[in-house]
């Protein structure tokens, strides 16, 4: 259309300004060029231009059209390509390509006006300006399709990973080899290694086992040299299990992504000298077990295309390693095939049901004005549990975190807090009672007792944070049936966690899964010790909502209260105090004014009756009175017994403390 002898198309790669570059597989196109680029499958045939360099880089960075009659007279022109190809560039017309949002996604370049070598005219510029928006639409659509296809392939690959890992749970070496093969396939890297900790309980990081795998796509000579060096050198094994980057990841629990190893002070170049393998980039992530303990690290080295690992690689690797951790942990800890099946069943069930919140939701609450405590009424023991809608409960929860000083004290990123709260809300099922509203109401009562009951003076800030988070997460993914039903039905949850505190263990593990999801770790800025302490406290808080535990310990609690025997320096006394506090908040609906309490009780009863119906028709069992809608006339008596024998003694103990200040 512009009578150019040749042309080139460069596309922008990289999201961040410091990582952007321009890449072309359609370079130096002329009349004899085939439709498809010769480099469509070989990255080595790509032409790369650094961002801001040369005329192409200049146009991409500034978004300006460049039309020059003699390229060699322009200081921005880079003649390296001419030298390489032997082609002489004279006139040149270069323009940016934009998408529908006005972002520059590429650069088009027409070279040498024909015939006669005249410069490109104003009319040529107008033609290009009219043509390139259509190119931008086509390219953007193609990129969206490619991204969608890539995510689909990766999701399918992750499902294959799950299948692989749960097929083999008897031989550690076999399962680790599968992990490394899958990692290389997913990340397309030259090398992969897995390091396992000697003692996951020890504060000192020490690796006891290491596994290495070189990609078959590396050259045979490189593979042979690497294997010979590793097999003959004990010093390489010593370096591997004393790798400073791996040690850092294992001690902090945070991933490390190094784009240029030799520019990172944590990298020890001695490894390359020993093995004869040149390390360019490193992506290292922790491997966790089901109890949120680090059992090792996994790392991949050198993408096959020569580029550093990007954010998408890191997200994929972290998701992949979650499943790897489950597989390794099961191989080490479990000897029953049923448990591995149950873990897979529960994980797939949760993944199929839940999703994280959207960016639009996060942005909405991030920008929202948060009402004061007095406006929300959340410091009132008699707060109306049904007064706030689902969005208002999010803003009220944000206010609680701010009012208790948690955001400032623990440097919680506000956007992360909004995202975490919204995802927690989304991970409650639409059951009649044990839903997001119940979780919020439990948290509100905890907040009121902390701020008006004087308990804030007794508890540490870490304990308070664990209690607030524990309240919000204590019934995550509740299915509307109790622990007894899980045991009777032989559900996957019961097989996975056993018959003791089945749901409570599931609620805690689900809370950990959310915290480990990208952009959800509200504890990211805690020190390693505080993080470890907090996770233990969080687990205790959620497990404390199991009434079986309450019955086991309440006699001891009542005696300590009645005899004024509490010693806040005794760890066990503090633990039982927090546990009873969780129960008091969990059962708090019975303390509310009649209309509120009645409404909550109707919801609980309806949920119980639905469980009773399932017991009768699915399990062919006769439900107990409180779950049997055919015996609803007995409800008043059962409710009074519940309040008088279970609830009242607990609240009397706390009320005595609040009145007497003891």
Contact assessment for residue 489 and residue 618, using Cβ atoms and an 8 Å cutoff:
yes
Separation of alpha carbons 262 and 260, rounded Å: 6
Nearest CA to 519 among 590, 413, 364, 652?
413
Please provide residue 35's backbone torsions phi and psi, each rounded to the nearest 5 degrees: -60, -45
Separation of alpha carbons 297 and 209, rounded Å: 11
Q: Give Cβ neighbours of residue 527 (< 8 Å, ≥ 6 apart).
A: none
Nearest CA to 532 among 195, 292, 290?
292
Pairing of strands 92-98, 104-113: antiparallel
| DSSP category for residue 23 | E
| Terminal alpha carbon distance of the chain | 88
Among the listed residues 30, 278, 434, 506, the single catalytic one is 434
Torsion of CA 631, 636, 638, 640, to 10 degrees: 180
Q: Residue 478, Cβ neighbours under 10 Å: how many?
A: 22
Contact assessment for residue 582 and residue 544, using Cβ atoms and an 8 Å cutoff:
yes
Sign of CA dihedral 552, 558, 561, 565: negative
Contact assessment for residue 486 and residue 503, using Cβ atoms and an 8 Å cutoff:
yes
H runs (alpha helix) in 498-546: 502-516, 528-543
The label of the residue with tokens 């999010």 reads 394
Q: Which SS3 state, helix, strand or coil, does residue 53 take? A: coil
Separation of alpha carbons 132 and 99, rounded Å: 10
Q: Give Cβ neighbours of residue 79 (< 8 Å, ≥ 6 apart).
A: 71, 72, 89
Burial of 112 (0-12, 13-18, 19+ CB in 10 A): buried
The label of the residue with tokens 């109401």 reads 441
Contact assessment for residue 435 and residue 367, using Cβ atoms and an 8 Å cutoff:
no
Sign of CA dihedral 117, 122, 127, 131: positive
Q: Is 292 considered catalytic here?
A: no
Nearest CA to 284 among 185, 189, 216?
189
Separation of alpha carbons 442 and 434, rounded Å: 11
3-state secondary structure 542-582: HHCCCHHHHHHHHHHHHHHHHCCCCCCCCHHHHHHHHHHHH
Residue 111's DSSP bridge partners are 6, 92
Strands (E), 272-391: 282-288, 294-303
Active site residues: 434
């Amino acid at each position: 259309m512009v009578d150019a002898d040749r042309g080139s198309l460069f596309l922008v790669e990289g999201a961040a300004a410091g990582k952007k570059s321009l890449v072309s597989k359609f370079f130096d196109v002329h009349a004899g060029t085939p439709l498809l680029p010769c480099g469509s499958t070989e990255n080595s045939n790509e032409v790369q231009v650094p961002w801001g360099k040369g005329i192409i880089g200049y146009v991409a960075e500034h978004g300006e059209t460049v039309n020059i009659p003699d390229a060699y007279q322009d200081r921005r022109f880079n003649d390296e390509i001419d030298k390489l190809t032997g082609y002489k560039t004279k006139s040149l017309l270069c323009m940016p390509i934009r998408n529908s949002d006005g972002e520059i996604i590429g650069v088009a370049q027409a070279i040498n006006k024909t015939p006669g070598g005249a410069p490109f005219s104003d009319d040529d510029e107008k033609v290009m300006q009219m043509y390139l928006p259509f190119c931008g639409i086509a390219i953007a659509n193609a990129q969206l399709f490619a991204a969608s296809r890539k995510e689909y392939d990766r999701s399918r690959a992750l499902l294959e990973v799950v299948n692989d890992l749960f097929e083999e749970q008897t031989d550690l070496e076999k399962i680790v080899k599968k992990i490394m093969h899958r990692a290389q396939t997913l990340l397309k890297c030259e090398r992969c290694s897995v390091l396992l900790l000697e003692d996951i309980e020890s504060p000192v990081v020490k690796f006891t086992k290491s596994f290495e795998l070189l990609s078959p796509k590396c050259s045979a000579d490189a593979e042979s040299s690497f294997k010979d060096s590793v097999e003959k050198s004990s010093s390489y094994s010593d370096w591997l299990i004393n790798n400073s980057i791996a040690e850092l990841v294992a001690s902090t629990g945070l991933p490390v992504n190094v784009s240029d190893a030799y520019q990172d002070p944590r990298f020890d170049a001695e490894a390359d000298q020993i093995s004869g393998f040149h390390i360019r980039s490193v992506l290292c992530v922790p491997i966790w077990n089901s109890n949120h303990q680090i059992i090792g690290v996994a790392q991949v080295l050198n993408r096959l295309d020569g580029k550093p690992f990007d954010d998408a690689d890191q997200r994929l690797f972290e998701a992949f390693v979650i499943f790897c951790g489950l597989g390794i942990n099961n191989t080490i800890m479990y000897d029953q095939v049923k448990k591995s099946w149950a873990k897979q069943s529960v994980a797939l069930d949760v993944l199929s049901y839940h999703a994280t919140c959207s960016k639009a939701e996060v942005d909405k609450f991030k920008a929202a004005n948060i009402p004061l405590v007095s406006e929300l009424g959340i410091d009132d023991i008699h707060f109306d549990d049904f007064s706030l809608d689902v969005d208002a409960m999010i803003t009220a929860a944000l206010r609680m975190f701010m009012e208790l000083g948690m955001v400032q004290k623990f440097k919680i990123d506000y956007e992360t807090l909004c995202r975490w709260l919204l995802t927690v809300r989304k991970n409650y099922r639409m059951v009649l009672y044990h839903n997001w509203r119940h979780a919020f109401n439990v948290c509100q009562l905890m907040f009121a007792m902390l701020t008006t009951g004087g308990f804030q003076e007794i508890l540490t800030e870490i304990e308070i944070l664990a209690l607030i988070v524990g309240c919000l997460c204590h019934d995550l993914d509740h299915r509307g049936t109790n622990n007894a039903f899980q045991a009777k039905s032989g559900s996957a949850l019961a097989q996975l966690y056993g018959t003791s505190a089945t749901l409570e263990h599931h609620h805690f593990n689900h809370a950990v899964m959310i915290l480990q999801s990208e952009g959800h770790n509200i504890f990211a800025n805690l020190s390693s010790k505080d993080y470890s302490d907090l996770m233990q406290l969080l687990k205790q808080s959620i497990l404390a909502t199991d009434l079986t535990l309450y019955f086991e310990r309440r006699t001891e609690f009542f005696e300590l209260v009645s005899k004024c025997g509490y010693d806040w320096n005794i760890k066990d006394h503090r633990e039982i105090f927090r546990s009873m506090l969780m129960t008091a908040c969990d059962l708090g609906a019975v303390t509310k004014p009649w209309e509120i309490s009645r409404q909550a009780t109707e919801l609980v009863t309806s949920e119980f009756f639905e469980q009773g119906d399932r017991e009768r028709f699915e399990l062919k069992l006769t439900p107990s009175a409180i779950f049997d809608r055919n015996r609803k006339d007995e409800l008043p008596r059962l409710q009074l017994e519940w309040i008088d024998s279970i609830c009242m003694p607990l609240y009397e103990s706390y009320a005595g403390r609040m009145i007497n200040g003891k």
